[in-house]
Every structure is written in C-alpha cells, then in structure tokens.
Structure 1
C-alpha cells in the first residue's frame, strides 16, 4: 500500500508543478516578444500616469500641420496639445508604418521645437523652459515627444509600455 501512496503523491506534485509552469507561461503570453503596442495603449499608460485634462486631443490634420508629416506614413497616433496658444504643452505618440520613417519624423519634430523656441523664448520664459526640457525619442516604429512639467513621468509611462 505504501508504494501506491508514493506514486499518487508524485502524481499530485507533478500536476501542481505543471500548473505553476503553465500559469507562469500564460502570464507572459499577453504580448509576444518584440510585439509593439498600439499608440492608444501607450497613450492610455501615459494618461494613467499624468493628468491630460488641461490639454486637447488632436486629429490627423493637426498632426500633419504641426509636424509636416504625411498622413499615409502614420499607422497610429495620439496627439495632445495645449488648450491655449500661450502654453507650450504637447504630447505626441506617433507610430509610423515603417521604422525607417521614425528618424525623419523625429527631425520634423526638431523643427517644431525650434519654431516653438523662437515663439516662446522672450514672450513666455516659463513655457520656453518646458520646451528646452522636452523629451524626444524613438523606439522601433514609435516617435515620442513631450513638452510638459510632467514630461519625465510621460517618458517613464512610454518606456513601460514595452515591459511585461
């Protein structure tokens, strides 16, 4: 009778360990390795990290106008701009169709930064300071741009979108 109990015990241990391994693997399978999130998912992470209520959401026309990019280059995006033209706050998460386009979009945003610098430098020094402390980076097919007092928190939320 004793060997029978040992076999049952081993069977239950095996089942338990299998369940643990399957559970661990299932927890990591929500996103395949290297899979990029959507701009909306990244934007939602940022929205959870900081309050964007003071900004207004922009559409594709606004995106094209501000950054001089072609609408057909953009796969997905999220854009927030200041509600008033005396503020410099901006948040753009742009997912381009081809990773090669990301660097060109980044260069266009640098032109936008230059224009905003000229606009605010003598007129609104506190807004100029925000522009000078902007965050602009690329990650795969994404271009991230933030001008805000909370740009560092926005950047951290952007970066966390690729972590499990």
Structure 2
C-alpha cells in the first residue's frame, strides 16, 4: 500500500515539474530588435520581388501608425498586379494584438476583393495567407514563400 502511494506521489511530482517547465517556456519570445528581424527576413528566398514599405504605406494599407508600434517591416509588391506582401509588426504591448490582427485581416479582405474576378492567381495567394501573433509580434505574409518566411521568423524570435 505504501509503495503504491509513493509511486503516486512521484508521478504527481513529475507531472507538476513537466507542467511548470511547459508553462515557463511557452510563449516566451526573445526581444529581438526589428532591424535584426528585417535584416534576416530581407535576405530570404522570394524577397527580391518586393520593395520596402514606409510608415505612410503602413498607414495607407493597414491603418496602423508607426508611433503606436515598437517597429515594423513592410514589404510590398513591386507591381500593382502582384499580391505578394510581408508585414512583421513588433507591438509595444500585447494588448495591441487584437487591433493589429483586425487591421491585417481588413487588408487581406481588401486585397482579395480587389483581385477577385480577374486575378485568379493573386486570389489563390490571398486565400493562402499566413497570419500569426506571437507575444508582441505579428507576422503576415501573402506569397508562395509565406511558409518559409514564417518558419524563419519563428526561428529568429525563438533564438
């Protein structure tokens, strides 16, 4: 009887230890400067067809203000007939996540409406968009390379 009770205690302690380790490590993302993130992502495959966007573009396309964010990287298509796009935002506070996500979803819907009916390839890309919120970071990509960019982004902020 005492052996069974000892095994239960040991099992419970092991479970608690694993649980605490998972809680401590999940959701912890390194505080990387946007310059470092942008430097790595800008060298990724597929980025050569995009041009850097400025604060005015962020306001125009996403209705987000640069001063409300800690930093951002915006890459827009070189041609208005392309849908490829990349946005990485570092928020000042995690409470901004919902507003940033809504701004991104509005941009995606607007782009999709623009291309629907004549841009089948662009619409397919827009339907396969990647959006991820991780801590104070938001990642949005529309591209055949979106999954690769997302993986690279995740590696950068996890390191």
Gaps of 5+ in 2: 1-27
Q: With structure 2 as the length reference, what TM-score do the two structures score?
A: 0.77
**Cα distance, 1:34 vs structure 2:** 4.7
Q: Does 1:121 align with 2:121?
A: no
**Which ranges of 4 or more aligned residues in structure 1 deviate by more than 6 Å?**
none
**Does 67-76 or 43-52 show the bigger shift?**
43-52
Query: Deviations for 1:113-141, whole angstroms, at most 9, x for unmatched residues?
Result: 11111111212100110000000111111
RMSD: 1.4
- Shift of the 80–140 alpha-carbon distance from structure 1 to 2, 3 Å rule, reads same
Contact 1:93–1:142 (8 Å) recurs in 2:
yes
Q: With structure 1 as the length reference, what TM-score do the two structures score?
A: 0.75
> Residue 160 of structure 1: which of 131, 140, 155 is its match?
155
Aligned residue pair count: 132
Query: Deviations for 1:6-39, whole angstroms, at most 9, x for unmatched residues?
Result: xxxxxxxxxxxxxxxxxxxxxxxxxxx7531122
Q: Greater Rg, structure 1 or structure 2?
A: 1
Written as runs of structure 1 = structure 2, the 5 A alignment for 1:4-153 is 34-153=29-148
